[in-house]
């Protein structure tokens, strides 16, 4: 045996066995899945990855008022949050189970974007982003999966029972992400695997030109999810017209036949044209799609007497004109008195207009067709270019979307350049058309869209544009940290600038465009929060925590509280969308105060100045005075509870 071979064998023996990294519980699960014939996703550190979400602490969320955009009473409808996305989703406890759609574009594991901090395995609250994971890193797939697992778990928790997650990916992690999604959401909840055309063919590719990327779409609960129709395009609408002045409105040509010839032999009969006496049968492997009684009524509406007649053709009796000869008869002639009379009545009807539902083309010489009225079909079109009939909605499954429907990456870059100018250092940006299409299909017009990897803000821009172009009123929550290791927290530079310019219509170099309108509030994640932190806060900081965390079970989907910052009020700090006031009892520059008779009098004075009516929502350390007009919120207990915590026990980190 050569020295080289011995060296290779020794090196192979020195490689650690992946099973050595699995603990007893993981090994048991792995063996059970193998014995049951199932497929399991196993990787080093899986158990810790599954538990990370319960170890992440919520953060203080500070409102950066100088970065808010739009009318103050609308700012709380949309949020741009600067910070780590797992921490942000944990902090957004009030939105758990409230999100309609999560559409996001996580970092692709290409050696250029994805960073991983090994300390996260033990403490996911470590603020360090970690080092860039190189493409030749042998554990790069494991690191990517370990980073995505807890985030996908948290995304699922954020969704409504009817909610949907649409996540973009390329071929580097497509298969691993699919297995992750199957494990977290369940294979039965997969809605679609969308293959979208991101670019044109590149001829300098050595093997196969990669022109597409993917969007994996999963429902939290398939039975509750709803796939909506897209808005009709001008091309779709152009297919409708009213050439015969039909009082029932615009219509288009439809097919009188359908599939199922084998199971519907009685629907294979002939029908005779009143224009030329010809017999028409359904084409091969198809049958008439409507019941015979209705077909007879439609045919008779051309002014002819229609009867059923056995033609001895091996089919059920045909629908023919009474006493008219058949093309197979020896005496068949278009000048036969019955056919001549039928043709005369049919031509008169053709010229008068308002043709019957069953018609024979514009001149009466075509095969029988069916009029499909615009008013009778759904208001939109089904979301894939491969479906022909707008009347039938089917499951998406695995579909392809062409660039004409979704745009290309190049168009995404051009859209970003147009709004914020060049020099942003982004080379791949999802086009607005793709994100808008996902939102239209899986988020209701009044729903909430979350993007935990907001990047350049395409998702927020798409929501604003859809709201401007239609009567929708969707809301967005964007989370972005940017690249602080490179000195660029672009949540407050690039992402903010794009949303700001889209709303206001501002463009680089003094340019202008039509403003989309809307607003958003900018928030910054800071330190970890607990009871001690709350009680040691300064007033402005505590006000922000109350404004950003407050929610009520009966109105959890509310946009939130509007902060009031006027020196004439002693305790009033905000109001909700019902016009109810929120007060924090504060002892001057000292600690949080208590609600007693004297402080209650000051609450009433503030309420009178602001023209507010009860109930008065009062935050204080203790409640020594009670009133039917007061809804009391104890500090820090209620604040912690609104963040999923408890002053005495951290139930947020306990298993459900």
User: Is the preceding peptide bond at 636 cis, omega within 30 degrees of 0?
Assistant: yes
Per-residue pLDDT of 145-174, as tens digits, reads 888 888 999 999 999 999 999 998 887 778
pLDDT tens track for 346-364: 999 999 999 999 999 989 9
Residue matched to tokens 């700012």? 75
CA angle 481, 486, 491 (to 5 degrees): 25
The pLDDT value recorded for residue 8 is: 43
- Burial per residue of 391-427, b for 16 or more beta-carbon CB atoms within 10 angstroms, e otherwise: eebeebeebebebebbbbbebbbebbeebbeeebeee
What pLDDT is attached to residue 204? 57
When pLDDT is cut at 50, 70 and 90, the band that residue 42 belongs to is confident
pLDDT reported for residue 386: 29
Q: What is the pLDDT of residue 394?
A: 37
pLDDT over threshold 90, residue 374: no
pLDDT reading at 652 higher than 90: no
CA distance 577 to 558: 8
> pLDDT tens-digit profile of 537-586?
989 999 999 999 998 887 777 777 889 989 999 999 999 988 899 999 99
In whole angstroms, give the CA distance from residue 590 to residue 539. Answer: 9
> At a CB cut-off of 8 Å and minimum separation 6, what does 622 contact?
594, 595, 634
Strands 475-480 and 448-451: parallel
Number of H-type helices and E-type strands within the chain: 19, 28
Better-predicted residue by pLDDT, 641 or 107:
641
Query: What band does 238 get if pLDDT is binned at 50, 70 and 90?
Result: low
Least Cα distance to 162 among 102, 222, 216 occurs for: 222
Please name the residue that has the structure tokens 């957004």: 92
Residues in the chain: 656
What is residue 359's predicted lDDT score, i.e. its pLDDT? 94
Residue 54: φ, ψ to 5°: -85, -10
pLDDT of residue 11 exceeding 70, the answer is: no
Contacts of 397 (CB under 8 A, 6+ apart): 192, 193
Backbone torsions φ then ψ of 544, nearest 5 degrees: -60, -40
pLDDT at 292: 92
- For 398-452, write each residue's pLDDT tens digit: 666 665 566 666 777 777 878 878 767 776 778 888 899 899 999 999 999 999 9
Residue 509 has a pLDDT of: 84
Query: Between β-strands 380-381 and 230-231, what pairing exists: parallel, antiparallel or unpaired?
Result: antiparallel
Domain 41-231+394-525 homologous superfamily, CATH: Vaccinia Virus protein VP39 (3.40.50.150)
- Rounded to 5 degrees, what angle do the CA atoms 270, 274, 280 make? 25
All structural domains of the chain with their residue ranges: 41-231+394-525, 250-376, 531-653
Give Cα 136 to chain centroid, integer Å: 34
pLDDT (tens digit, 9 = 90+) per residue, 75-106?
Answer: 999 999 999 989 999 999 999 999 999 999 88
Please tell me the predicted confidence (pLDDT) of residue 211.
Answer: 66
**pLDDT on residue 232:** 55
pLDDT of residue 243: 92
Average pLDDT over residues 515-537: 92
Confidence band for 33, pLDDT divided at 50, 70 and 90: low
């Amino acid at each position: 045996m050569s020295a080289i071979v011995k060296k290779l064998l020794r090196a192979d023996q020195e490689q650690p066995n992946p099973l050595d990294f699995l603990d007893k519980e993981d090994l048991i699960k792995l063996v059970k899945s193998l014995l049951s014939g199932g497929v399991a996703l196993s990787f080093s550190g899986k158990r810790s990855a599954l538990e990370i979400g319960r170890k992440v602490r919520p953060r203080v969320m500070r409102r950066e008022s100088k970065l808010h955009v739009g009318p103050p009473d609308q700012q709380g409808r949309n949020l741009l949050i600067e910070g780590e996305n797992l921490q942000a989703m944990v902090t957004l406890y009030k939105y758990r189970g409230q999100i309609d759609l999560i559409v996001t574009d996580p970092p692709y594991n290409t050696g250029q974007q994805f960073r991983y901090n090994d300390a996260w395995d033990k403490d996911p609250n470590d603020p360090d982003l970690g080092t860039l994971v190189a493409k030749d890193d042998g554990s790069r797939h494991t690191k990517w999966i370990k980073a995505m697992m807890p985030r996908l778990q948290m995304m699922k928790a954020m969704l409504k029972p009817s909610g949907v997650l649409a996540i973009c990916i390329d071929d580097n992690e497509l298969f691993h992400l699919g297995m992750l999604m199957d494990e977290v959401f369940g294979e039965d909840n997969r809605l679609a695997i969308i293959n979208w055309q991101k670019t044109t063919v590149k001829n300098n590719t050595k093997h196969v030109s990669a022109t597409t990327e993917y969007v994996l779409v999963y429902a939290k609960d398939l039975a509750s999810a709803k796939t909506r129709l897209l808005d009709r395009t001008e091309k779709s609408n152009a297919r409708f017209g009213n050439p015969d002045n039909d009082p029932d409105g615009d219509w288009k040509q439809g097919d009188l036949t359908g599939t199922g010839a084998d199971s519907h032999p009685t629907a294979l009969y002939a029908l005779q044209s009143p224009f030329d006496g010809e017999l028409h049968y359904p084409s091969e492997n198809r049958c008439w799609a409507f019941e015979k009684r209705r077909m007879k009524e439609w045919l008779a509406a051309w002014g002819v007497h229609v009867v059923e007649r056995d033609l001895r053709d091996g089919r059920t009796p045909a629908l023919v004109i009474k006493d008219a000869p058949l093309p197979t008869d020896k005496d068949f002639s278009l000048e036969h008195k019955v056919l001549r009379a039928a043709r005369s009545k049919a031509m008169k009807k053709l010229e008068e207009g308002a043709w019957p539902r069953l018609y024979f083309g514009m001149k009466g010489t075509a095969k029988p067709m069916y009029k499909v009225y615009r008013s009778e079909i759904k208001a939109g079109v089904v979301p894939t270019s491969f479906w022909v009939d707008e009347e039938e909605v089917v499951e998406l499954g695995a579909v392809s979307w062409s660039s004409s429907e979704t745009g290309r990456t190049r168009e995404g870059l051009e859209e970003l350049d147009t709004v914020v100018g060049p020099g942003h250092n982004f080379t791949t940006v999802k086009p607005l058309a793709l994100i808008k299409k996902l939102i239209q299909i899986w988020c209701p017009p009044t729903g909430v869209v979350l993007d935990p990897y907001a990047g350049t803000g395409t998702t927020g821009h798409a929501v604003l544009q859809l709201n401007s172009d239609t009567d929708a009123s969707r809301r967005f929550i964007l989370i972005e940290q940017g690249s602080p290791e490179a000195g660029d927290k672009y949540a407050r530079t690039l992402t903010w600038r794009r949303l700001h310019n889209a709303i206001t219509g501002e463009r680089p170099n003094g340019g202008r465009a039509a403003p989309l309108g809307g607003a958003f509030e900018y928030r910054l994640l800071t330190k970890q929060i607990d009871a001690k932190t709350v009680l040691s806060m300064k007033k402005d900081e505590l006000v922000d925590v109350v404004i950003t965390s407050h929610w009520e079970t009966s109105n959890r989907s509310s946009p939130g509280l509007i902060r009031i910052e006027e020196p004439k009020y002693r305790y009033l700090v905000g109001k909700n969308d019902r016009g109810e006031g929120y007060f924090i009892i504060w002892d001057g520059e000292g600690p949080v105060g208590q609600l007693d008779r004297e402080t209650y009098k000051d609450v009433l004075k503030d309420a009178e100045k602001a023209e507010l009516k009860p109930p008065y929502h009062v935050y204080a350390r203790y409640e020594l005075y009670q009133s039917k007009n007061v809804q009391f919120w104890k500090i820090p207990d209620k604040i912690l509870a609104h963040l999923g915590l408890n002053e005495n026990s951290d139930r947020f980190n306990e298993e459900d």
